[in-house]
Structure 1
Amino acid sequence: MTGALVTILDDEPAIRTILADALEEAGFRTLSFSRASAFEAALKTHKPDVCLVDLGLPDTDGLTLVHKLALEQGAAVIIISGRAQVQDRVTGLELGADDYIIKPFDPAEVVARIRVRLRTPKTATQTGQIAQFNGWTASFDSYTLTDDQGSETPFSHAEGEVLRLFLDAPKRLISRAQMQEMLGGGAGDSFDRAMDVRISRLRTKLREDPKNPRLIKTIYGAGYIFLGDVQWT
């Protein structure tokens, strides 16, 4: 998605410059910030497609900001951090980040990861932004789930990616390998745990019985099947 807006939030000027130069050379637009306060103020007038966020910010907790962005902005959120521990990566993904890149990094890899986040699967239903299924309406332009009584529940960009996978392929098995291929990000335990968390949150928002979900069924050892009847508009 050439021309997409990428925001860069990092308190190191050299990192901001390296990222901005690489992204602009690749055809992206960029806005850079050294403080979370200035970044959040800019969000009132700009709508980024991807947010690159460092966790070691001087004026706020980076993980808290990631969680807020995932729930409120609808943009893809990619953490870029020197924290290399597995638990840090898992926590970031659980809080709603779409990807986690460890410093030091290759700028070309960051560009590639961003392109993966922005890549849209070529399916017929992807032209729609609203899906209706089993009394629910999922709006991907506003990132909300609405029940048949009109009550709205927000979902994050990361949760929306998983939900869209299911809604694009109802009543078909989706394996973990297919999810990893289509959603990108690192494979392994951290990806699996992040998927478990996102699916659990979707089930909660869809008011599923965790012991016997009706819509998102786990096929142990194989993957998941979405059993709803889906109509896109």
Structure 2
Amino acid sequence: MTKPLVTILDDEPEIRHMLADALQEAGFRTASFARATEFEASLKSTSPDVCLVDLGLPDKDGLALVHRLALESGASIIIISGRAQVQDRVTGLELGADDYIIKPFDPAEVVARVRARLRSGKTGTKSANRARFEGWTALFDSYVLVDSEGFETPFSHAEGEVLRLFLDSPKRLISRAQMQETLGGTAGESFDRAMDVRISRLRTKLREDPKNPRLIKTIYGAGYIFLGDVIWD
């Protein structure tokens, strides 16, 4: 069985080496990059399972790169940054990152977070990658929603995790605590805000009425319920 591949994008060689050593010792394959252009070129021939991305890159805006990865890649994205402000964390999660680690950090914490992201990608009770519901088809291997006329709308890895959680448990209340436990991340304002943003984006892509959504219902003070009938195949 092929070991999961973790890419490390950070312009500080000490951090790249420290993370690579810790991850390889934990059983992962790694590939390290100092510049975003080198990292992006590698994506043409490799498909990482997890991307560790520093925001302070010398050649490109880190947040813009995170957003592009979230839209175009199936990898989990963990930001590693010295920016400790709550707004920076919220912005990173809103743009599609799955987790946010603040420098300085313990390499063991990063290894644990990587393992958590890989586990969360396998939490769905269904092994299938296609689900049909209310005129829509969700393709989790290519990260697109297809409507009844064949029009495709892409969704990010982070949005896909939330959608799969709903589709795995239709017509059941899913609390914030359940979402945090299943999807990983640290409970608190930034996690709640990230979930709100992802659910809002899913509603938009499913062409829901924001004032009266038909499929993803908010149960105030309790959580969410997905009301559609779901067929996995």
> Where does residue 80 of structure 1 map in the other structure?
80
For 1:210 and 1:94, locate their aligned partners in 2 and report how far apart those are by CA, in whole Å.
18
Structure-to-structure mapping, 1:50-61, within 5 angstroms: 50-61=50-61
For 2:24 and 2:136, locate their aligned partners in 1 and report how far apart those are by CA, in whole Å.
40
SS of equivalent residue, structure 1 residue 174: coil
For 1:226 and 1:44, locate their aligned partners in 2 and report how far apart those are by CA, in whole Å.
36
Are 1:70 and 2:70 matched, yes or no?
yes
Shift of 1:2: 7.4
Structure 2, unaligned runs of 5 or more: none
> Where does residue 170 of structure 2 map in the other structure?
170
For 2:93 and 2:159, locate their aligned partners in 1 and report how far apart those are by CA, in whole Å.
11
> Where does residue 188 of structure 1 map in the other structure?
188
| Partners of 2:81 and 2:103 within 8 A in 1 | yes
What per-residue deviation string (whole Å, max 9, x for no partner) do you get for residues 175-203 of structure 1?
A: 00000011111110000000000000000
SS of equivalent residue, structure 1 residue 202: helix
For 1:62 and 1:101, locate their aligned partners in 2 and report how far apart those are by CA, in whole Å.
14
What per-residue deviation string (whole Å, max 9, x for no partner) do you get for residues 129-155 of structure 1?
A: 000000000000000000000000000
For 1:71 and 1:154, locate their aligned partners in 2 and report how far apart those are by CA, in whole Å.
7
Q: Could you list the runs of 4 or more consecutive aligned residues of structure 1 that deviate by over 6 angstroms after TM superposition? A: none
- CA pair 10-194 structure 1, distance change in 2 beyond 3 A: same
Q: State, as a whole percentage, how many aligned pairs show the same letter.
A: 81
For 1:149 and 1:122, locate their aligned partners in 2 and report how far apart those are by CA, in whole Å.
27
> Where does residue 215 of structure 1 map in the other structure?
215
SS of equivalent residue, structure 2 residue 217: strand
**Residues paired across the two proteins, number:** 231
| Partners of 2:8 and 2:32 within 8 A in 1 | yes
TM-score normalised over the length of structure 2: 0.98
Structure-to-structure mapping, 1:47-126, within 5 angstroms: 47-119=47-119, 120-121=122-123, 123=125, 125=126
SS of equivalent residue, structure 1 residue 47: coil
Structure 1, unaligned runs of 5 or more: none
Give the RMSD, CA atoms, in angstroms.
1.0
| Partners of 1:163 and 1:202 within 8 A in 2 | yes
Shift of 1:220: 0.3
Shift of 1:70: 0.3
| Partners of 1:130 and 1:139 within 8 A in 2 | yes
